[in-house]
Amino acid sequence: MNVQLPPPGSQFQLAIEVANISRFAQAVVVQVRTLDFRRLSGTLAMLGVPLRHGLIETGRGMPLRARLSEESSFLRESSPGRRRGRPAQRATASRPSAGLVAELSAQFAPSEHRQLLLSGTVPREARRARRSASR
């Protein structure tokens, strides 16, 4: 996996596929949460993921916008094909201490998938960690 971090002050957008893999129409709820720094750095170390720059623990989160695309498609050929339609419903996070950034809910048809779009701006004061020569 190669992740390019945008420079401070620049905008970014990330698209993630969300799907209802069941045969039944249902509400799909997506929660976007912050990662715990210690767990993330421990997991990356355990997996041997090389980092060009170290991670810096910060108490400040990066503001994100989250929305579900209105365009949908289906996982099976026998499904109705591409549609445009239902606007996504959004609920604002009410538990920032639990790491909840955003929660979205939308009605999905059987086998429907759509994109979750996350966007934001890297804080201008963001900086990369310098590697220690002793490590």
Maximum distance among all alpha carbons in the chain? 60
Residue-range definition of the domain harbouring residue 84: 11-35+61-121
Report the predicted TM-score, pTM, of the whole model to 2 decimal places.
Answer: 0.62
- Please report, as a single letter, which amino acid is at residue 30: V
Query: What is the band of 112 on the pLDDT scale with cuts at 50, 70, 90?
Result: very high
Position 3 scores a pLDDT of 58
Q: List pLDDT tens digits, range 62-80.
A: 778 899 888 888 876 544 4
Kindly report the backbone phi and psi dihedral angles of residue 104, in degrees, each rounded to the nearest multiple of 5, phi listed first: -125, 145
Q: Is 96 inside any structural domain?
A: yes
3-class SS of residue 43: helix
> For residues 34, 39, 44 and 46, what is the CA-based torsion angle, rounded to 10 degrees?
-160
- 76 versus 49: the higher-pLDDT residue is 49
What's the mean pLDDT when you consider all of the chain? 75
Q: Is 17 inside any structural domain?
A: yes
Where residue 20 sits, what CATH number does that domain have? 2.60.40
- 85 versus 60: the higher-pLDDT residue is 60
Percent of the chain with pLDDT over 70: 67
Q: Is 50 inside any structural domain?
A: no
Alpha-carbon distances of 92 from 19, 32, 47, rounded to whole Å: 22, 11, 34
Structural domain tally of the chain? 1
CB of 32 within 8 A of CB of 110? no
